[in-house]
Each structure stands twice: as structure tokens, then as C-alpha cells.
Chains A and B, each alone.
Chain A
Amino acid sequence: MPEVLLDVQDLETQFRTSDGIVYAVNGVSFHLQEGETLGIVGESGCGKSVTMLSLLRLIPSPPGKIANGKALFLGQDLLTISDEAVRQIRGGQISMIFQDPMTSFNPVLTIGRQVSEPLEIHLGMSHKEALNRVVELLDLVGIPNAQDRINDYPHQFSGGMRQRVMIAMALSCNPQILIADEPTTALDVTIQAQIVELVKRLRDEVGMSVIWITHDLGIIAGLADRVAVMYGGYIIEEAPVKELYSHPQHPYTIGLLGSLPRLDRKQHHRLTSIDGLPPVLYEKPHYCPFAPRCKFAVEKCRKENPSLEKYDTSHYLACWVDTETGSER
């Protein structure tokens, strides 16, 4: 049985805005095992990024506030340890890559300077040692002429190259967990595939665990071991990747998969869409947050919010309706 690296329990994050408190994450629990890749999917605004930023205490505060929960990493709670302790973990044992490689680099510092920083902070290297290591790392992620490019600035790199540099920076201290927050969303499709392949290769070489946030179920299919689907700040379905794709149970998951072109289907089928937008929650819903957009919704869905329950071996579900029959479970 592989060791559990990260165990998140009942995480709740809220934002104070001028319109009232926004409930962004409402009691999310999940765990991550050693060497495992967990996919987290959902539309924009479902609380995926906020969940991950909360773990590392990167939520701007104020207005953000982690209201409840635990995030146990190797036994210590990331949410309660000192600022200094969490800083040591950030970029060292848990590192993160971000969505937009255009804005995630400081435009006025050289790539060498920025990539060498974690090495100097966490591994205590001198700037010169760190720069030598940076060249190796940039080589590793496939930056041509790495030696000549460490004095270049971010704007001198293309989007895909910048994301490679970002990955090199995140992996520089051999982290145990890599959190990838939609790292391919801002890239061309061909570049996307290259980046996914790169992370896969490095993951297998280094043996780290990965949390991959995306709204692209296609990417997750070939990458993740297990997938959690988020909606309205809740995890609404969680299952091993094959199980989720072959037997999706939640109407939202079914809707997401229905919007995806499939090569493995024999006959042609129409792509479907889910009407409406994910909600911005100004209060914790006492009903299923997906009910207003759900084709299967019954009376109970509008009255009570289902919690994540075991549906099958390692398949968890938060839904009142059996989508096969259309009746209440």
C-alpha cells in the first residue's frame, strides 16, 4: 500500500467581496498517494485553483480566508504550521506551475535569476552553482542552447518554451508533489501535447506525485490515475480514471464527457453542452449546486445538498439521482 502524501480534509475557503462573502471552496476532501497523479476537473470558477492555492496558503488574504479544514502533508497540517515552515515547503517539497506562462514570470528579471531562486533558497546553492544547475534543468525540459539563454528575459521566449522553463523551475528541487494549475490552457494544441508528454516523462523519472488541474478531460484521460470532478466548490464525483470515463454517474460528469469528441465510439454522436454557467455562491447552498442546470434534477435535489458518498469500490459520488433510471436513488 503506497503511502498517503497529502490528505486534505473539509477544506473551506471564502472571499470577502463588496457583494458579500463568496463561498469558493466548501468542504473539499481528497488525498494523494506517493507516485500518484490526481486529475481535478471542472469548469472555470468551480474552485479548483482556489483549493490548490489554499493548500500552499497562496490565497491573497484579505480578501481570501481559509475558514476550515486540514491539509496534512507528511503528518503536518499545512494550514496551521508557521509561515516560515510553509515557505520552506513551497517550491521545495511541493511546487506549483501556473496557467499563464506569459504573466507568471517576472518580466524584468532574467530566466537564470528566476529559475535559480528555488535552488538557492531550498538547497542552499550559491548563485553560480545554481546557474550551472539551471542550465542542466533547462536542457532537461528541452530548451535549446540553454547555456546562452539563461541571461534572456521571459519575453524572449515563446509561450511553450516559457511553460517548459516554468516546469524546470518547479522541478528544480525535486519536489514530492507537483501541482499543475491548468498549465496547458494558454498554449496551442500541439504545444499542449508536448508539455503533457514532458511532465509525464519527468514524473516517471523523478517519481513524484502530480495534481493536475484542468477543464480538459481529454488531457486527464492519458495522464491521471484518479480524477476528482469539482462543481460549485464541492467534489461531486471521484473515481479512477478508467472507471470515471466508462461509468460516469454524476449528471455534471456525464455532461462534461458528452461535450468531448471521442475516437473510441463506433458511431458518430453529437457533442452536447451544459446550459448555463457555474454559480457564484454567496451562501453555502442547502441544495445541490448543480440542480439549476441539471436535466435529471428531482424535487430532493432542490432541497438537500448531497454529500460525497461511496458509490462503488473507490468510486465516490454526490448525487441524489440514478441517471440510468432518472429516479431518486
Chain B
Amino acid sequence: MGRYIIRRILYLIVVILVVSMITFGLMHAIPGGPFSREKALPEETIKMLEERYHLDDPLWKQYVDYIYNVLIPHFSTTAPTNSLQDDFLVNAKIGNVWFRWMNFGPSFKSRSRTVNDIFRDNLPISAQLGTMALIVALVIGMPLGILAALKQNTPWDYLGMGVAILGVSVPVIVLGPIFVWIFGVELKWLPPTGWGASPPYLLGFLPSELGWEFFRYAIMPSIALGLGSSAIIARLTRATLLQTVREDYIRTARAKGLQERLIITRHALKNSLIPVVTIIGPMFAALVTGTFVTELIFGIPGMGKYFVTSITNRDYPVIMGTILLYAVFLVIANLFVDIIYAYLDPRIRYD
């Protein structure tokens, strides 16, 4: 198992290289650049800017420099300047040597910030929202799916699956404003916009205070965002559980005289969880790295908008940073899924 995890983490480097190469190639292939404006800037200004951000270097050199700054650890004996060009995500002082790693570069658009600033300030908010949305999705989706499967073809089933279809077909862009209108504007129960946590974060991503002040901001967006995923989880849970209870070993369990409740909890659920766990991996990666629409509707200062605006702005370091972040989360989430597989199914062993 340990060797398997190490191997998978080494694969991660390959994934980062491939994803970064494709992204780098594609983003430079789009016409226009970070400093193209409707009202064109003077040629000298553009030249100066490009020189400053090394955009006048040949593309291969730009790419190699980028990978060098992001992937290769830097060691130095002099104290870091922490300028916009010199902002590393990992900073550690060992003896009198500075160990520094992962410089994603400055943002071209917001001149005073770096990509690492976005990771430090905005990513934790998205991660908090995404995690809560995933919890909502699981807490609603799994019981709904189990109930629908156990009461197949009864009103419970139709009700559960009706709710699920509603959840899938009503997007956040509709549900969000309805929530804001009812609970935020009319009833005034919950704040219509904003987020209840701000830097510094506990361990870099947890809200420093987990109280009502945090949750009253988080309830609406978490539910609005989680409901769609809960519908997917409910439908999948129902389908796999229905398939599992048709298995021979469930018949064996019945033939032993086991109580129906034990048959479901002990014999059926663990087996039917495997496909559900499979989709939770990518779902988690997608939710925690930022969700553009939800964050926009509820005025949450998360990561979501950077995925979209960085591309329209040709903000090269932000494009690269957001996409690599997503890739890393996806790979790590899938690694966790694989580890959970091995726990759920003893036939799966990775050596």
C-alpha cells in the first residue's frame, strides 16, 4: 500500500507536466495577450511590461522557467525579498538555509497580488464552501437513495427520485437567487451575500472560528451548491443498492435467517458504496477548487471566478495556477478514492 501511494504521487508529477504543457500551449495559442486592450497601450509600455514579465523570452524558455519556479525547490542563504516576483507557497528556514518551493508567479491582472495570494486567501473559502456542499450532498443524497431503493416502486421511491430529478434539473443559477430572495431578502433569516470567515485561517484553510457567525453565511450557498450533487449521489446509491440486493450473497444472508435490517446494513451497504465513492472523488475536486456561479450569486470571495476571468484576461500565471491546482486536487482525490476502495473491498490490494 505504501509503495502504491508513493508510485501514485510520482505519477502526479507526470500529470502536472502533461497538464501544464497542454495548458501552456493552448493559452499561448489564443489570440491576444494579457496587455491587449480595446484602447491599445503604447508600444513602448507593452514592451516594458513584456520585458518585466519575461514574455519576450522564447516560449520554451518561459515554460522551463515556469516549471523550474513551481516544481523545483529553491535553497538560498540570503533572506527572501518576498516581492511579487519572489513569492513562494512553501517557505521554511532550516538552520541558516532558506528552503522555498512553488512560486506560481504574479498575477498580470491584479498587479499587487500573486497567484499564491489567491491560493492563500481565496482557495480556503472555496474549500470551506465545497466541503460543506459535499457534506450536504452526502447527508441528503445517501439516505434518500437508500430509502428509495428499500421502498422501490412505492411513493417513498417516487418522492425521493422526484426530489433527485429536481435537484439535477434546477441549477444553482435558479436555486441560488430563489434562496437569496426568500431567506435573505424576504424573511431576513440569513445574510444574502458574503462569507463568514477571513484570513488568517487555521492550518491555512479552516475558518478560525466555527460558530453561528460562520454557518449563517454558509448555509444557503452550501445547500444550493450541494443539492445538485446530492441528486446524483441519491440516484447512484439507489441504483447500486438495488443491484446489490439482487446478489447471490444477499440471498445467502436471507437463507441464514438474518434480519432485514442487518442484511442491508452489514451485507448490502458496504458493497453498494463502491460506485458512490468513485464519483465522490472528482465531485470533491470540482467543489473545493471553486464554483464560479455559486460564488458569484452569493458574493463569496472564493477561487471560482479566477478560473473564468483569468482566461478572458489572458492572465497566464493565474490560468496555469488554477488549472494545475485542479489537476492536483483531482489526482489526490482519486488517490483517496483508491485507498477507500481497498478499505471497502478486501479483494482490492495494491501491491
Interface window among B119-127, B243-251, B320-328 = B243-251
| B contact patch SS | helix
Partner of A106, one of B246, B249, B255, B259: B249
Is A89 at the interface (CB under 8 A from chain B)? Answer: yes
- Specify which chain B residues have a CB less than 8 angstroms from the CB of A206 in the assembled complex: none
The interface centre, meaning the residue of B246, B257, B347 with most chain A CB atoms within 10 A of its CB, is B257
Chain B's closest residue to A107 (CB) is B347
A92–B255 CA distance with the chains assembled, in angstroms: 9
Is B42 at the interface (CB under 8 A from chain A)? Answer: no
Partner of A90, one of B248, B255, B266: B255
The interface centre, meaning the residue of B248, B256, B344 with most chain A CB atoms within 10 A of its CB, is B256
- Specify which chain A residues have a CB less than 8 angstroms from the CB of B270 in the assembled complex: 108-109
Do A87 and B346 have beta carbons less than 8 Å apart?
A: no
Chain B's closest residue to A62 (CB) is B153
Do B346 and A155 have beta carbons less than 8 Å apart?
A: yes
Chain B's closest residue to A84 (CB) is B259
Partner of A87, one of B246, B257, B345, B347: B257
Chain A's closest residue to B267 (CB) is A106
Do B346 and A92 have beta carbons less than 8 Å apart?
A: no
Is B83 at the interface (CB under 8 A from chain A)? Answer: no
Shortest Cβ distance from A88 into chain B, in angstroms?
A: 6
Which A81-95 residues have C-beta < 8 A from chain B?
87-92, 95
Do B255 and A107 have beta carbons less than 8 Å apart?
A: no
A131–B251 CA distance with the chains assembled, in angstroms: 22
Do B256 and A58 have beta carbons less than 8 Å apart?
A: no
Is B67 at the interface (CB under 8 A from chain A)? Answer: no
Which bucket holds chain A's interface residue count? 20 to 34
A153–B255 CA distance with the chains assembled, in angstroms: 20
Do A104 and B246 have beta carbons less than 8 Å apart?
A: no
Partner of A121, one of B248, B256, B271, B345: B256
Do A108 and B346 contact each other (CB < 8 Å), given the known contacts A100-B248, A103-B248, A103-B249? yes
Do A58 and B346 contact each other (CB < 8 Å), given the known contacts A104-B248, A106-B267? no
Is A122 at the interface (CB under 8 A from chain B)? Answer: yes
Is B253 at the interface (CB under 8 A from chain A)? Answer: yes
Bitwise, B69-82 to A at CB < 8 A (1) or not (0) is 00000000000000
Is B312 at the interface (CB under 8 A from chain A)? Answer: no
Partner of B257, one of A60, A103, A118, A166: A118
- Specify which chain A residues have a CB less than 8 angstroms from the CB of B249 in the assembled complex: 103-107
Do B345 and A108 have beta carbons less than 8 Å apart?
A: yes
Which B293-351 residues have C-beta < 8 A from chain A?
344-347
Shortest Cβ distance from A186 into chain B, in angstroms?
A: 11
Is B254 at the interface (CB under 8 A from chain A)? Answer: yes
Do B256 and A118 have beta carbons less than 8 Å apart?
A: yes
Which B233-286 residues have C-beta < 8 A from chain A?
246-249, 251-259, 266-267, 270-271
Do A105 and B346 have beta carbons less than 8 Å apart?
A: no
A122–B271 CA distance with the chains assembled, in angstroms: 25
Shortest Cβ distance from B112 into chain A, in angstroms?
A: 54
Do A58 and B271 have beta carbons less than 8 Å apart?
A: no
A105–B253 CA distance with the chains assembled, in angstroms: 9
Q: Which 9 A-B pairs have the closest CB atoms?
A: A91-B257, A91-B256, A90-B257, A103-B248, A106-B249, A153-B346, A96-B255, A118-B256, A104-B252
Interface residues of A (CB under 8 A from B): 53, 56, 58, 60, 87-92, 95-96, 98, 100, 103-109, 117-118, 121-122, 153, 155, 166, 169
